[in-house]
Amino acid sequence: MHADAAGTPHEGLGAQSILVIVGTRPEMIKLEGIVELLGDSAVVAATGQHYDDILVHRQFVQLPVRSIPLERSMGALTRAKQIAAGIESAIEAIEKVQPRCVIVQGDTNTALAGALAANAAEVPLIHVEAGLRSFDRRMPEEHNRVLVDHMADLLLAPTEVNRSNLLREGLADQSIRVTGNTVVDAVDRHMPAASVRARVVSAHGLESGRFILATLHRPENVDSRTRVAELLALLDSAPLPVVLTVHPRWRALVPDDVRRFTNLELVEPLEYADFLALFAESAAAITDSGGLQEEATVVKKPTLVIRRSTERPEAIGSFTTLAKTISEARAVLEGWRSGTEDLQEVLQATPSPYGDHGSSQRCVESIVEFLA
């Protein structure tokens, strides 16, 4: 199945000359603006790292250029097998498209697989969202992002912090461009109007500003039945009702007696626009997602991050609070018990550390300059 592009090739680039390799919804969302600006110069190939009708498929088929669904589902594989399958898919796409360059985004197994395939094929590699570091080698994503950065020919870093990380590792300054983070463009593109947000909130039986939105998906939080139960109990103790999206990777670990958590509603994965609608109308958020930490700086909501470490330190102390333990997380929730209105007011006047709405344009300008 191919989706034909509605646009024309970007000026200075040939038709279908740039291969964009994706595997998860966050990659697609963050690359949409770049893909649209590239027009018919871009071809998107999906590896199938995640395959879920809401999480990935609908996002993929809506991309505004020719797309190649590679018909492999990597979701049930181990990490090593995901990377191996992703390399095979990426090489298949490279052979089919014969691109001038390959673009990968972020720190997924797909990004690493695409980078390895591009290097093997001697095709220039561009890394969008380069230079993020948690300095925690227990995270598979840290392995991926470091390796991709060191294989890339053009490094599109969201912030000066990211640029400094790359320079510290000996990467060439001339290969780095600071562009801002394309998540800012994505939130602006997908955020529903106030009337639509109100309908989404109402459909969940919630009251605007009187609930907390939560997401969990990282292995350190959801690969253990005991840890899942602890986190569900924590969320149930929150000062406001909590809506928790259940990622496919841990759906089977939800306890049979989940109904005892009376302050907690578990929901299936949401369309991105519906997710943003709830986020915008929430009082606060709880997450282990990297992307949501960034989105919090655009939506202007206080966000509790339950993780051992984060590769997005720019938002800590303003939009986000990092809690490494359950007890630290519980202390944050207690602080929210008196309300988050004052904090939200402060955040409304706080600029996002990830830049403005021109990030995708700056990325494309850097790509065009690189290929000139």
For residue 192, the 8-state DSSP code is: P
Q: In what order do the strands lie in the sheet with 303-306?
A: 264-267, 242-246, 212-216, 284-287, 303-306, 320-323
Can you name the residues that pair with 19 across neighbouring β-strands?
Answer: 43, 102
Among 190, 204, 217, 357, the active-site one is: 217
**Tokens matching residue 260:** 């005892």
Helix (H, G, I), strand (E, B) or coil at 160: helix
> How far, in Å, are 167, 168, 211, 217 from residue 294 at the CA level?
23, 23, 20, 16
Sorted by sequence, the CB contacts under 8 Å of residue 174 that are 6+ apart come out as: none
217 catalytic? Reply is yes
Largest CA distance in the chain: 61
Which H or E run contains 128?
strand 125-128
SS3 3: coil
Tokens read off for 113 = 């697989």
What residues are labeled active site? 217
